[in-house]
Structures are given as C-alpha cells and as structure tokens.
Structure 1
Amino acid sequence: MKKITLVLFALLTYAYTVNGQCIGTYEYTTVVSNNTGNIQSMYPDFPCNWSSDWNNVTGLLIGSDYEFSSDNPTDFLTFTDDSNNVIAAGTTPLSVTSMPVSSGRLHIYYDNTCTADDVCREVFLQCTSCTLPAASSCLSTVQYPEDPVVSNNDGYTQDISGCNFAGEFAQITGLTIGEDYEFVSDTGDNITITDTSDNVLAYGYSPVLITSIAYTDVKVHFHLTGNCDTEDVCRATTFECTSCTPPPAPDCATAPITPVDGATNVLVGVDVTFSWTAPASGPAPTSYNIYEVEDALGTNPGLIANTTDPFIDLNIGVYDTTVYWMVLPLNGSTEATGCNVWSFTTESTPLPPANDDCINAQVVVQETEIPDAASATATPGTIVSSTDSGLAAESCNGYTGTANDDVWYAFEALTEDVNITFEITGFDGVAQLYSGTCGALTVVGCADNTVSAAPIVEEINATGLTVGATYYVRIYQYSGTSDTIGKSFDLKIWTSEALSVNEFNGDSLFSYYPNPVNNTLTLKAQKNIE
C-alpha cells in the first residue's frame, strides 16, 4: 500500500491543473457509494488519504445530489469524471448537484494552490438527496448470529457480529424497558428495528437510536441501501445502551500467586498456571482480563485472555525473555484502573536433543506380537531446539517439507514387516525411513498426512525389510519457519508378527559376554528368557 512508500517517493509527487483545478497523482482506493443519505467514509478500515491522492467513486445515482468532505478544513477538493474532466471544485465540503455521472474521481489537495503533503486525513461522501425507505420494507429472513445476543445494559458498546451481511437480522435479548439504545453498522447500512413479530419500531441509516425502548427483545435488520439491497460482504455491527450507567470499577487484584512477581526459569511450551489474589474490597469482580504489556509501566497492553476465576492456564512461547503482565478485574464491562504490572523471566533455550543427528540416533527396540499401535510401548521424543542434520527433505506423498529440525532413531529389524508410528503433539510431522548407514542412506518409506490438528499420527508401514539389518528413521515438522517450542511425540516401533524360530536363534537376538567367562556371565536377548 502506498502509505508505507519511502519518503523519497512522497517528495517526488507532483500535480497538474485542468481548468485551474488540482488533479491528483496517486490513486488510493475505490469506494462504492451506498446512497443511504448518511455520511460514508471512503476508507473506514484505514482512513489515511494524503494530499495529491485521488479516489475512485462508483455507484453514484445520476441526478442525485452529493457532498464530498475532508476532516482537514483547508483541503481543496476536485471532482471529475473518469477522464479527469472537472465537474466541481472547491474547499471542503464540496457539493455536486444533479450528479451527471455514475462514477468519477475525487482529488484531494491541501489548498487551492495544489500543495501536496503526507499527512493522513479522512475523506467522506454523502448522497444528500437520498431518502429513507418505507418503514416496513426492509425486513430480513436470515438470522445471524444464530443465537440471540444478550444485552449487557452497562453503557458500553457491545458487539453483535464482526461479519453480518446486508440482508440478515440479529436478535437482541435482555434489553431494559425504558432505556435508550443505539444500533450501528460500520458500513452505514439501512437498519430496521422490529419486535419479535416484525412490527417496526424504528428505521433509518446507521446509527439508529431508539429512546425509552418498550421491549426486552428486538430484531435488528441490516440492508445495504434504502432499497433493501443485500450484499454478502462483512460489516461489523454493534449496539449500546446509551442511557445506562456503567457499573463501578472493582479494586485491583493483589500480588500474583504463580508465577510470583520476579520469578525466573518459568517453563516454556507447557501450560503454566497464572493465579492471583482477588480484590479484598470493592465490587466483586465478574471476570478478569489478563494483559501482556511491553514494560513495567504497562505500555501497549495486549489482551491475552479473560477468565471468571482468579487463575488461568497459559502457554508461554518464548525463551530467555522477561514477560510483563497484569490482571485487571472487571465489574461487568468496567475495568479496574491503576493496577500493578508484574513480571517473570522464562527459562533458557534448551540444548538440542541428543539424537539431533543421524550418527547419534537413539536406539529403539522393535516390539513383536503387538496387536495394534495403542498396545505398543511408546518412546517419548521431542524436536524442541533440534537443528538441521544436513540431510535435505525428500518428497513424500507429493509434498516436500523442510527438514531443518529433524531428530533420529535407529532400530534393528526383527521381522520383515514393521510399523513405525509417531503420535505427534503440536506440529505437522513428516517421518522418513532409511536403510544404509549415516552419510549413505537410502529412502525406504515415509509418512506425511499433512495433518496439523489433533490427533496427529504419522505411520510408516514398512514391508520386506531385511531381518537383522539396522534402519534409521527421522521426524521433522513440514514447515521450515515454525518454532519447535513444546512440540513432542511418542514413537512406537512394532509388528503384530511373532518371531520365527530362525529369527529367535539369530546371533543378533541373543548374545553373551565376557568370553571366556571368569565369575559372571551376562546374557542379552531381544525376547524374554524363560
């Protein structure tokens, strides 16, 4: 987006004039007029036109009257057709009567000398001659959200939905009879308020205010225009009891219980219980907001979670870091103020696993006569702090990941058919099986189901292995950019087959030492000796 363009480019802007008026250099956005009669922001999500910008304006009604304005009172506005033929020009606000085109361009400059600057201003349009619809003409049949929204009646703005479509309605319950309520759509929609039987109580363009409401439950219908147009585009919808008095703020929570203020070596990648002492006086909190802040002064608070209990389990995702946090009790929607900031320091980054490379592969003994993976013995493992072993990822099931965090295992094949099962926590894993030796490996099999949500299981069902040979298996996460914090798995190497007589008598399955024997003979076998 142009707003992050280097200053050098801003210095190179220029303007030219047509019929003595200022024509912009940079196209910023396109806005569709909603023709509702209400003032409409040309870019509500990022209201930052610069002087020398121009905006496309479409959806205009030929013959209707429009007004264009800027929140910078010196701005000089020029409205042209799509070929920059001037229709009207002047200092904000600029009126165009009997609009001659259905689309055009609004050019913005700091003054009538076509001065450019790089200061944000918000620019608006309004169809001043557009009229309201008939009272009962804009009702909806599709409810969203599906469940009613219960009013807090606390004097604070309350969300209906972050994504209502024009043509939907929402049901609001729990309103207080006699109070005043305002209903808003952030796109300036036509709003009709009805009772639950669709009798119209109020209508108009956002915002719509009902004073001294006579119902506890209402429907709020949204349409794009006064002509009841629909649109499958998200708009944020809210309401507020404007006459309600916010409840008093609760007192602050006192010193944290866990982690204690100033704690060190707090664990990373696992659930850590955060707890605190509830306020001893003042209104009883209805819930608690937990914030992470930048420093001990509470700069830039970011809401992490809300809980009704004076404790919550949270997972921390960074090593060697001092974390600043605070708890703000709420009474309804009113937060406590002036509360303390607490801190703790997380544990140091762990060393890589011992089996980070092929040459240090962890040996696992294959199990036999196991009916299924659930019955097999698990060997716990992790990729936390693992590094690139130097062997690039091979393609598996048509996908090739990035093997920069692999860990290694080795086993001796006791049967020709072997199952290698990884039961994974927290990552999309790729498992690969090799024969040969480290530095001279050959791919035998792999598993990559591209699953990243529990349960995550990658299983290689190998057949035709050479009994007595050593095989290597590694696992890594598919993504090459994800961290390894808290990512673990259970490895199971098993088969439902029983050992044959020849396999049981093989040298690799039974050994003894020392030889010759002095006082003690040690026997080693892959099966129990009975």
Structure 2
Amino acid sequence: MKKITLLFIFCLAFATISYGQCTTSTGGQWPASAVTLANTGGEEAIASNNWPNAEFSVIEGVQVGSDYTVTATPSMYITVTNTSDGTVIGHGAGSVSFTAGFGVTGITIFWHLDAACGTQNSGNTVTTIQCTSCVCSYTVAPNCVTEISPVDADPSATVGTGGAVTFEWNTDPDAESYELFINNFSQGSRESGVTFTGFDYGTAYTWQVVPTNCFAAATGCATWSFTTEACTETAAPSVPATAPSPADGATAVAIEAPDGTYDFSWTDSGSDSESYTLNIGTSNPPTTPLENFPNGGTITGLAVNTTYFWSIDVTNCIGTTTGTSVWSFTTDTVLGVEDNFNTNETFGVYPNPTSGLLNIKSSQDVDSVTVFNLLGQSVASYTKNEITNSSIDMSDLSQGLYLVKITSGENTQTVRVTKD
C-alpha cells in the first residue's frame, strides 16, 4: 500500500568535482584574485579577493535564455550553481559560460585557486599561505550517452500529472556529471530519472545530455526529439469524487499507531485516463496537495484530536473537474491499535513498567528499536550498535505510556510500555 507522510523535507544537493591527487605547497607568489560576472543580463559586475574558498551572495534577476560568462583572474576553478535548487549550471577553470535555463532566477558562484601560491604581501606584513593544487584524475573526456528515454523521435511520449515528463539515460564511468538541455536551454547538472512538469500534449521538444568530468566535456553529443502524446479527451472530468472515507463530518476517527495512519478512499467515475490529487490540511480550503494519490492510499503523520479538511481533484489531459467538495473529519483523542499490534510473541520486554532500562527478549538479534508517544511522534530511536545486551535506556523519557516498535530482519512488533 502506498503511504504518504505529512512531512516534507527539502534538500539542496550540490554537485562536486572529484580529483585524483591534491598536494599542498608553499612555492610561488600568491597573486590578487578577482572573479567577474559578465554584465549581459543587467546584473552588476562583481569582484572579490577572498581566498582560498569564497562564495558570492546570491545574484538575483538572472534571465532565462540569457548568456553569462564568469571569468577568474588568475585562473581558478569555478562552480556556478542554480540558487533555487543547488544544481550545477556551469563549472571549469578560468572562464565559464552558461545559458540560464528554466527555473534559474538566481545564481551562486564558488571558486578555488588552482595554482601555486605561497606568500601574500599586505603592507609591511608577509604571510605564508598554505594552498592546495589539485590534479584531475581523468585523462579523457567522457563518452556521449546513447540509451535514452524518451527515445529519439518518439511520436507519443508519456505525459504525467501536471504535464510531467521523465528523462533517463545510461551512465558513463568517465562522467562526473551530466548537463541536461531541453529545447536548447540548460537545466544544469542532473541525474538520470529527473522529472520536469509543464509539458504540453501533442507538442514537439528537443533534448540533449552532455557528460562532463574535470578533464573536459563530451563533444559531438546528439540532440534528440520527441513529441508528447496527444490528448484524446474532449472535456475535463464531469463526475467529482463522492462518498468519502472518512465520511464528511465524522468524529473520533481512529488513526493507527504508531505513526498516525489512515486509508483514504472515495467513489469516482473510474476512468483510466483520470488521476487524483488529494488536498489536505487543518484549514478550509486545504492547502497541501498530494498528487497522483491512489484511491485507497494511506496517509501517515495524522495527529490525534485534530480536525482535517480534505478534497479530491479529478484530472485528465483537458483539465480538472469543477464543483469539488471539501470534506472534514476529526481524529480520535488517542491512537488506535496497529493491525499487527502485539499479535505474535516474536519479542518480549521487561520490566514493564520500567524506570529506565528496558530489556528485550528475542530469539534473534534486534536491528532497531523506535519509541513513539501517543501522538505518533518518534521520541527515541536505537540502531543495532546502540542496543547493548538486548536493552535500551528510556531513563531520559518522561513518565507515561509509549509504543515501542522492535524490528529484527523481516519481523516487526509494537508493544505498549509504561515509563515510571
């Protein structure tokens, strides 16, 4: 069963360039350094003499489709990232050029000195500088990728919810990163399997992948094309979702321990061409959309004694049904019991109640233990290395009733434990 948790964590992943050998030296004179951004899109030119690692403040107002050049004097290694998601949109030594693609509204520039250096003269003071010179471990550029999806000249590429298209390609052992171009606009450094939304039905697009390493970028890589599938519907869905579960206005709705789960369902037209977005929140209208939510799907992270509002948007390639109802329900004041709660004797615990140490009886090694409060919140967790002599220490927890989830291999059991 698909589960969706009402907790969203956003991560920024910065691409890195690896080198085979780095050495520290003190020879040579450290020259004054400067990095500038060409004033091709209305931004002010920038410069800095910070060394060896520096980061510019965010440069906003970058224009999609505009060409930019970052130049370092003397030659330094430059990395230009998309401020919105941290993807690399340009890197190299000395001078880096890039075209701002979709979603690039600001950039951050990092650099490091890739040359010999040793002393810095500042007035009457001479300071010895320890600096690092890195050598690229690659001796050849990577090969262009050849296995792709959508395939070249695909006349009916699949389009998902929100006009989503997924791009995939084979990897090359000599590639450190892959720059993705869509309609000749760079989307920065991306991994195979990346999905973009906003594609129109029955529309032609081009795309290209250029593998890169610290030695050079691949050259002569092909540009492919595809046409998105045609929309065969004649109108947006006319039948809204009805008969919700939990029922509209329901109270004391039981949500299961230990993580506050409930299976949401409804009645609809049942057309295979339709998809669903479940909107949920503690205010009306609900503000958290869960796209591609299956009828009967599970949400975790619901809180006890809380009123939720929710609705279902039914969508096809034309649009979304109108007249969608907003329902509400209120959860019970305590968590319900898990389906498999204490129904087998795989594990045992003692003493219960406990004032501190909780011993676990098991015929096999325990892999992990997680302690939840009655709101379904994890308050303590223990990995295999933290479980000493088949015991966990609960002395730091407040007095009360807890749900202790014990896992060993494929076996999982949750038991109630009282902390004195």
Using structure 1 for the length normalisation, give the TM-score. 0.35
Larger Rg: 1
Q: Select the structure with the greater relative contact order (CA < 8 A; seq sep ≥ 6).
A: 2
Using structure 2 for the length normalisation, give the TM-score. 0.42
